[in-house]
Structures are given as C-alpha cells and as structure tokens.
Amino acid sequence: MASQTTRLRTATAVLCTALVGAAPVALAPAAHASPAAPAFAAAPPPASVRAPSPSPTPTPPTPDPFKGLSADEIAEKAVAATRSAHSLRMTGRVSSGGQPLDVDFRVSDKSECTGTIKLRHGAAELRRTGDLTYMKGDEAFWRASMTSQGMPPAQIDATIELLKGRWLKIAQGQPGTEDLGSVCDLKSLLADLGRNKEQRTGLVRGPDGEVRGTPVATLVKRKTTGAGAEQTTVSVSERGKPYILRTVRTGGADPGNVVLSEYDKPVRVVTPPPDQTVDLTKLDQGTPA
C-alpha cells in the first residue's frame, strides 16, 4: 500500500510543479429544442412578403482582466489564487516514472478527501475525515501493492480475501502510511506549486479560449529535456479569481492532462459503516475492526 500512495503523492507533485494548464477547450453551447408548434398555427407568409429578420446584436468582447500583464505575471497570479483555495476537485490523468495514474479526487485544506485512483494494476477509492483514512481497492490493486512490499503469496491471498468488499481503516501515524496524510492535505499538495519559481518563467501567452464554458487565458512553455521536447500549457480563469482550470503536459517523461474545478466547494466524505471496514492494526490477525 505504501508504494501505491507514494506513487499518488509523487504524481500529484508532478502536476503541481509543472504549473501546467490546458490548451483552450472551446465548448459549444447546448442546443435547445424548439417548442412544438401549436396544432392550429397559421402558415408562414410567402417568402416574398416576409419581414426581413433583424440582424443579430453582436456580443461585446469580454474585457481582458490580464491586460498589460506578461505571461509570467499572469502565472504568478494564477499560482497565488490556486494556493489560496480551501478545496478543489482534480480529474484527469498524470504520469509518474512512466506509470499512468487516473484520478478523480476532491480534497480540502481540512485534511478531507474523497475520490478514486486508477493505476495500471488496479483501482482504489480513498476517503479521509478526521484522523482516519479509508481505502478500498480491487484485487489487482491490493495484489500489486502487497507484492511490491514483499509479502508472501499465501499471506497476500488471505489478506485479499479478508479485504474483499471492505474498506481498510488506517489511523493517522501508523507505520508505512505517512504519505496518506499529505495526499489528503490540499495545502501540502499545492506546496510544490509555488516552490520553484523558475517553472513559471519563460511563458508565452497564446490565444484565449474556454474551459468548460469559462473564458481562460492560455499560457505555454516549451523546453527540451532528456526525454525529448516537452510542452506545458496552463489555462487561467478570466472570470472571478484567476484559478488554474486545466493543465496539460505533452512530450517528455511524464505527460498529463488534468482539470481543476469545484474550487472552495465543501468536500463531503461518507464514512464507511463499521461492519464494512478492516482495521490496519488488526489485519495480521485476520479480524475486522
């Protein structure tokens, strides 16, 4: 389990230190069906006698909230705003050491989190509230995790059988679980975002766009690494606080594409019922908590 949570922590750090964002995603407005015509509607007049349709009123351009700022200065504002968030949702895929990791994760600065992670070998749900963390993995997840820790096959099989359909309950401070605390702490996750200022220099502003209907400024940085050419792009909200809304890294060793949303919304964590949990301290004894 420790190796899996370490991979999650590392992959999240990859996301944060990159200051990456999205190439703008223009979302077409949803089409609205026209109401049905009444049964006795009059036939339209011939085209020759119809009144000309009024010209559509042009939509005024949205004022640029970053007018006069360089791309690097916009990035500074984006980092400050994102680090000030009390909660957010992170969805998408990142990579760490060539290993893909799919995440759908809500986390707060009160050490609350709930979500799912999917690795090459298995998937798991993670919840944390107070000093307790709950993790529920599929067989592939647990088998890969326990194999990486050197557990003998017979013990792995017995443990997987015990955990089938149950949540592993982990109290704060238990040996081998140190990474879980930082995974569920928003401030810890975002600490890397502001640590390396060099990552936020040399950016170029691209064409503005939209991410899920929100207008964004697009910042791009290109560089060459040992793994080849790499491009990182960041989409910064032009509405309200300049939060980072989407991140994309292409090329290089650790590509990724992540959307950040639901800023400052409450994180609601459902605690699993006691009869569906197994206490980590009692795992070796084969008894549920």
Query: 89-125: per-residue pLDDT in tens?
Result: 999 998 877 788 999 999 999 989 999 999 888 999 9
Counts for the chain of helices (H) and strands (E), in that order:
6, 13
Beta carbons within 10 angstroms of residue 120's beta carbon: 11
pLDDT of res. 115: 96
- The residues, any chain, with a CB within 8 Å of residue 254's CB and separated by 6 or more, are 11, 14, 94, 95, 96, 97, 98
Beta carbons within 10 angstroms of residue 158's beta carbon: 15
139-148 and 153-163 are packed helices; what angle lies between their axes, rounded to 10 degrees?
Answer: 140
Among the residue ranges 44-53, 64-73, 110-119, 190-199, the one predicted with the least confidence is 44-53
Q: Is the pLDDT of residue 139 over 80?
A: yes
pLDDT of res. 219: 96
Span 222-235, average pLDDT: 85
Cα-Cα-Cα-Cα torsion 62, 68, 70, 73, nearest 10 degrees, comes to: -90
Distance CA 220, CA 205 (A): 6
| pTM of the model as a whole | 0.76
> Model confidence at 37, in pLDDT bands (50, 70, 90)?
very low
pLDDT of res. 202: 87
**In the block, residue with structure tokens 């407005």:** 29
User: What are the tokens at 135?
Assistant: 């993790």
Distance CA 209, CA 92 (A): 19
pLDDT of res. 240: 96
13-19-22 Cα angle (round to 5): 115
Q: Is the pLDDT of residue 86 over 70?
A: yes
pLDDT of res. 197: 73
User: What are the tokens at 246?
Assistant: 């989407």
